[in-house]
Amino acid sequence: MRKMLKFAVLGAMVGAGIVVAKTTSEVSDPAVDEESTAVKAVGGGAALGALLGLLLDRRSHRRAKHVAKGAKVAATVASVAKATKPHLERAAEATRGAALTATEAARAKLAA
């Protein structure tokens, strides 16, 4: 709703700018009621701005839901990784001795 209000105000300002540009031009029709033209232009600009703001606001809400879903998955993965870290460290310590023994045996065979 925030974007809708901002764009409605922006659209009204653009409409008012158009009215000012039309009324200050050299070619002006005195038979045209300038107040009703101004109200229509400002109102139309505000309506179009509000519609554009509403569309952009809905789009950002959809994107925020998608990002929140991804953040939830990332948090789950992080918690699983945190839970498995001690098990992985224990397994690495257990295999470290065997790896060192195998390395020494390989070096002995290569040296001979």
| Domain range summary for the chain, segments of one domain joined by + | 2-23+32-111
Task: Dig out the tokens for 91 from the structure.
Answer: 């397994």
Q: What is the pLDDT of residues 31-63, one digit of tens each?
A: 566 777 778 888 888 888 888 888 888 888 788
Quickly tell me which residue has 């033209």 as its tokens: 37
pLDDT at 25 over 60: yes
What pLDDT, on the 0 to 100 scale, is given for residue 106?
92
Which pTM was predicted?
A: 0.48
Task: Dig out the tokens for 50 from the structure.
Answer: 């509000």
What pLDDT, on the 0 to 100 scale, is given for residue 11?
83
Residues 34 and 20: their CA atoms lie apart, in Å, by 10
Q: What is the pLDDT of residues 62-93, one digit of tens each?
A: 888 888 888 888 888 888 889 999 898 888 88
What pLDDT, on the 0 to 100 scale, is given for residue 5?
78
pLDDT at 3 over 70: yes
Residues 52 and 8: their CA atoms lie apart, in Å, by 8
Cβ contacts of 106 within 8 Å, gap of 6 or more: none
Task: Dig out the tokens for 7 from the structure.
Answer: 């764009």
What pLDDT, on the 0 to 100 scale, is given for residue 9?
82
